[in-house]
Amino acid sequence: MNDQSAIAAANGPTTATVATVPGVRAGDVRPVEVAIVIPTFNEAANVQPLLRVIDEVLPGVAWELIFVDDNSPDGTADRVRELAHADGRVRVVHRWGRRGLSSACVEGILASAAPYAVVMDADFQHDEAILPRMLDALRAGDVDLVVGSRYVEGGGLGDWSRRRVAISRTATWMANRLTGTPISDPMSGFFAVRRDAFMRSLPQLSSIGFKILLDLAASAPAPLSVREVPYVFRTRQRGESKLDSLVLWEYLQLLIDKTFGRYIPTRFISFMLVGGLGVLVHFTILTTGFKGLGTPFAVAQGAATAVAISSNFFLNNLLTYSDRRLRGRRLFWGWVTFNLVCATGAAANIGVADWLFERPVNWIASALAGIMVSVVWNYAMSSIFTWRKR
């Protein structure tokens, strides 16, 4: 006897099949046992076929299918709403003005009350045929997490290039150093988790980039108990992959955040790295102008500053704020506000350094203090005015 029929039997024949809440009439829909969370970006052609296969592989299971869509231009969210009108088990979390695979998965899981959650891609690369085994493993109650793995006996990569296999293996090795939880495929985007285990990791999650499973394992206060179920990664049939060259950078950000994030925000680390590159840019232009072309120092210094500010702006837009990247007109206004922020930052820098220099403070210490003030100022102000949360 499963939980629901147990409850129904205990309540007697007159009540519906769900547990009753005082003052609330029992509904006639079974409570959901497993939420299947599908992050989507431009997957309109995949949503209906996906509903069909889920329905086939999980007969008799009370599941719900939650698509978390970041306002895809191809109208994925609208397609999901159409499906939801025909099938009440389908839902959409439609996010606006944001991107990000990990955060989408987190919000999808949080949108459900089900005791178990599955995260799976929309593009059929993850083999839905192992869903019943994943669910059974959670139901048995002795594991927190079930991972669909390409690297255990019986799993595989489909036709991946040797380069991608090598990258994936290196990233896996780094991940295992980090989490201390032995998972053969910590990069997998296909897994099932108990809600209580997920909730324990939640306060520490970074939610950066693509690697939600790794994040989950690394954020758990105590090592998770894990089972792995093999599957063969398929090739994508419809739509396109969203993994680009920045995925590696996002992965590094996640590792940085899991290592130092508790002391300094990862964004700030990234902002300072970009600032360091800006100094290189500055000296390249200054040396070329002043030493190479004989440009007057003040002119060369001015040009170097202007170029360094712009290159910092574009690099921060690409790397530090990849999740809030400005485009089109917003890019232009972002550049304007960033210049203003940096100009006031420079004024604060000079003011503080000069004030200290007037006291009995060593000139190098004064200069460094001025630089620190302007870095923190630029970071804080640009996060408010240039890359504000929309």
* Chain positions contacting ligand GDD, by CB under 6 A: 39-41, 43, 68-70, 99-101, 104, 121-123, 125, 187-190, 210, 241-243
Nearer to Mn ion, 125 or 337 (CB): 125
Nearer to ligand GDD, 126 or 195 (CB): 126
Minimum separation from the CB atom of position 213 to ligand GDD (A): 8
Q: Which stretch binds Mn ion (CB under 5 A): 74-82, 95-103, 114-122, 360-368?
A: 114-122
Residue 188 site contact among ligand GDD, Mn ion, none (CB < 5 to 8 Å, cut-off depends on kind) = ligand GDD
79 CB burial (10 A radius; 0-12, 13-18, 19+): buried
Q: Which of 194, 197, 243 is nearest to 219 (CA)?
A: 197
Residue 128 site contact among ligand GDD, Mn ion, none (CB < 5 to 8 Å, cut-off depends on kind) = none
Minimum separation from the CB atom of position 210 to ligand GDD (A): 4
Tokens 């009439």 belong to residue: 25
Tokens 């990000």 belong to residue: 100
Minimum separation from the CB atom of position 284 to ligand GDD (A): 34
Q: Which of residues 46-85 bind Mn ion (CB under 5 A)?
A: none
Nearer to Mn ion, 33 or 123 (CB): 123
Minimum separation from the CB atom of position 234 to Mn ion (A): 9
User: Rounded distance, CA 314 to CA 286, Å?
Assistant: 20
**What single letter denotes the amino acid at residue 328?**
G
Residue number with the shortest CB distance to ligand GDD? 189
Minimum separation from the CB atom of position 177 to ligand GDD (A): 18
90-94/191-194 β-pairing = unpaired
First to last CA, the chain: 49
Nearer to Mn ion, 42 or 310 (CB): 42
For residue 226, list its beta bridge partners.
145
Binds Mn ion (CB under 5 A): choice among 76, 103, 112, 125: 125
191-194/116-119 β-pairing = antiparallel
Minimum separation from the CB atom of position 232 to Mn ion (A): 14
User: Rounded distance, CA 319 to CA 186, Å?
Assistant: 24
User: Rounded distance, CA 186 to CA 191, Å?
Assistant: 10
Nearer to ligand GDD, 100 or 345 (CB): 100
Q: Are 68 and 40 in contact (CB under 8 A)?
A: yes
Q: Are 47 and 77 in contact (CB under 8 A)?
A: no
Query: Residue 211 CB: number of other CB atoms within 10 A?
Result: 24
Contacts (Cβ under 8 Å, ≥6 apart) of 384:
none
Nearer to ligand GDD, 125 or 382 (CB): 125
Binds Mn ion (CB under 5 A): choice among 123, 185, 215, 228: 123
Minimum separation from the CB atom of position 157 to Mn ion (A): 13
Residues near Mn ion (CB under 5 A) are 121, 123, 125
